[in-house]
Amino acid sequence: MEKHFTVRLEPLGKKIRVPAGTPLKDILFSYGVEFPCGSKALCGGCRIKVLEGEVSVDTSHRRALEKLGLSDPWRLACRSQVTGDVVLEIGQFDTFILADSTPFRFRPRAGYGIAFDIGTTTLVAQLVNLQSGEVVAVETGVNPQARYGGDVISRIEYAVLQGGADELTRLIREKFSKMTRRLLCKVKEVPPEKILVAGNTVMHHLFCGHDLTPMAAYPFETSHGGECCFTAGELGLPADHTEIVFLPILGSFVGSDILAGILATGMAESEQPVVLVDLGTNGEIVVGNREHILCASTAAGPAFEGTNIRMGMRATTGAISSVMVENGTVRNHIIGNEQARGICGSGLIDAIAVFLEKGDIDLGGRVTTEDERLHLTPQVYLTQKDVRELQLAKSAIASGLQILMEEMGISAGEVKNVFISGAFGTFINLENTRRIGLLKFPEEKIIKMGNTALLGTKMALFEEEEVIRDILEKTVHLSLESNPRFQDIFAENMIFT
């Protein structure tokens, strides 16, 4: 029988039994850990601390650690395997600022602050020492509203059409207080002055208790998009002097998570244009520089998250997360090294690129195999409809980018950097995003940045309010569908070239 070992993950407190030799990357990815540089051992973003047991290092791993200034007991998850029982501390959230390749400048301040990222699915909060910039404690959780629908449209539906708005507001505020209270325990003597919260427009409105009716239908314009302040008492927190601020949204479906993302990328100070793309269901896109910033949301749909794909699934154990061709044979990477059960977004992009190369998909997107299926394993395959879903999703993003860049009057060549945010973004193969026509930029310009909402919110803790106001003043929201050429551009970008 195959040998198994136990891996305990801190601070999650999770225990997992895995076969000997399992890459740590596979285990950690399924727990939401991100690999900012794409597992190239370059950024240190996936660093882990070995609390108990042994994780061996080879020469290249040792060299990578030295380069990052890390010594025992630190390891890089992207270079490690399970060879015995271990207890690991996931360093990601503690070290994200440092791990990020963009220098994070901050003016030291007295006291503490909390950065809170409220996602549609997940929640992350960090307690930050404002003197040292160090993250003192992290809390993560699942958004309790998720039981009323996975995406923002179903939350709006529940709030507006089924009268569930108050319930959704209550749920998220309760969870917020709970997570915040745990962080507050760490700094009893000096409660943080400020808690900054970021989230998409729907999360913003539900947390703040604003009516979502305007977001249910065109023109999707809300008059309650501004920042929203609470006292600790209002949210059931014991810290008297703490002010809680939900950051303002940018317009329509572009929320304060993207505002924070703009801050994280340094777009508003850059002379050359910078692009920020969030590859989620709403596919937010921002193009701008220090003069002018344009943003939009695209109806990319959930294909990148594995939904609406016949055998699609989230990036968890059993999902094909990448596909490549080695010596003419298709090879799959399966999370957890188990038998493949389905395919997640990153695997889908790879698979489409591979089948395009093989000629099993023509440039119009038609599947040309005899049974109209594209097999990755005997059990897992893509259908014609899956290819169509991918075409819609990739074209939504590509068309959005094209329209915003045209409006800015810039070409892809003039763009300094393209930042990809979101957990999914960090795992994709950049060459293949180009191959399928999702991101038409040279690979070296694209930077996977992970959770830009959290990073930007954390950076905002050190900034004066003017910095946020400056971004708001520079930013214009565009409705892509009202561009008269939208339909033609959208159709053109569906084709593979």
Residues paired with residue 142 on neighbouring β-strands, in sequence order: 122
Closest distance of CB 494 from other proteins, Å? 5
491 lies in the site for other proteins, by CB under 8 A: yes
Closest distance of CB 403 from other proteins, Å? 14
Alpha carbon distance 207, 186 (integer Å): 25
Residue closer to other proteins (CB basis): 219 or 328:
219
What SS3 state is found at 312? strand
∠ CA 460-194-253, nearest 5°, is 55
Alpha carbon distance 76, 192 (integer Å): 32
Closest distance of CB 209 from other proteins, Å? 19
Q: Which of 108, 236, 364, 442 binds other proteins (CB under 8 A)?
A: 364
> Nearest-CA neighbor of 333 among 314, 345, 312, 319?
319
162 lies in the site for other proteins, by CB under 8 A: no
479 lies in the site for other proteins, by CB under 8 A: yes
Instruction: Supply the DSSP symbol for 338.
Output: S
150 lies in the site for other proteins, by CB under 8 A: no
Q: ω before 73 within 30° of 0 (cis)?
A: yes
487 lies in the site for other proteins, by CB under 8 A: yes
Residue closer to other proteins (CB basis): 45 or 283:
283
- Contact stretch for other proteins (CB under 8 A) within 63-71, 104-112, 239-247, 488-496: 488-496
Alpha-carbon Rg for the chain in angstroms: 22
Closest distance of CB 145 from other proteins, Å? 16
Q: Which residues contact 311 (CB under 8 A, 6 or more apart)?
A: 341, 342, 343, 380, 381, 382, 386
The two three-digit tokens of residue 104, written as one number: 């994070």
Residues 376-405, mask of contacts with other proteins (x by CB under 8 A): --------xx--x--x--------------
> Nearest-CA neighbor of 65 among 75, 73, 56?
75
Residues 76-135, interacting with other proteins (CB under 8 A): none
Check: CB of residue 386 under 8 Å from CB of residue 244: no
216 lies in the site for other proteins, by CB under 8 A: yes
490 lies in the site for other proteins, by CB under 8 A: yes
Return the beta strands (E) in 250-292 as ranges: 274-278, 284-288
Closest distance of CB 488 from other proteins, Å? 7
307 lies in the site for other proteins, by CB under 8 A: no
463 lies in the site for other proteins, by CB under 8 A: no
Alpha carbon distance 283, 471 (integer Å): 20
Binding site for other proteins (CB under 8 A): 153-154, 156-157, 160-161, 216-218, 299, 364-367, 372, 384-385, 388, 391, 479, 481-482, 487-488, 490-492, 494-495
